[in-house]
Amino acid sequence: MVSAMIDQAPRLSHIVTRSGDQGTTTLADGARRPKNDPRLEALGEVDELNSLIGLLLTETLPRDVAETLAAVQNDLFDLGAELALPGKSLLTPSHLGRLEFQLAEWNATLPPLAEFLLPGGCRAAAQCHVARAVCRRVERRAVVLAGSLPPLAQPYLNRLSDLLFVAARIINREAGCSEPQWQPGKGGN
């Protein structure tokens, strides 16, 4: 009975703690760190990426894209937990494998690219490109933590940015939008 009550207990009893008013915050292991600590910077970037994916999920998306991105949001919470609790590993090879499987499945349905693509097309695809760009920023922030980064964080983020690029292509195709292609030198004159 007691364990059932614990399982049902809320994770957050209050949101306003005032404990960060002096520019520090507490990691899940109890350590206080300045808010500009590289680990907290990476954690904040993961949160921003997850929020952008949440925004993208408010758009009308192909079902498989929406389902994949909903799973990714949970994965990003796992990654955030890993960053908040140094030494914790929640991402597994199956997380990575799921992204790789989806990438292979989607890529098999798309024509090869003759040129680089500009971010754009329909609104949802453009939002997906913004999430991709933020994912690349998360990768750059995470590299700073190299020795203390969870083992699958970097490969996961790398696959995720690829997946977001390919998802934007799928979204544009399903919406009937053309993919804007880079035209070298076109903007110069």
Domain boundaries, the chain: 37-177
Is the predicted pLDDT of residue 5 greater than 50, yes or no?
no
75 contacts 181 by C-beta, under 8 angstroms: no
* Continuous segment of H or E residues that includes residue 161: helix 153-175
| Residues 6+ away with beta carbon under 8 Å from 130 | 52, 119
Quote the pLDDT of residue 39: 84
Q: What is the DSSP letter of 12?
A: -
**pLDDT tens digits, one per residue of 138-148:** 999 888 887 78
pTM of the model: 0.85
Is the predicted pLDDT of residue 70 greater than 80, yes or no?
yes
Q: What percent of the chain has pLDDT over 90?
A: 58
**pLDDT tens digits, one per residue of 123-167:** 999 999 999 999 999 999 888 887 788 889 999 999 999 999 999
CATH number of 37-177: 1.20.1200.10
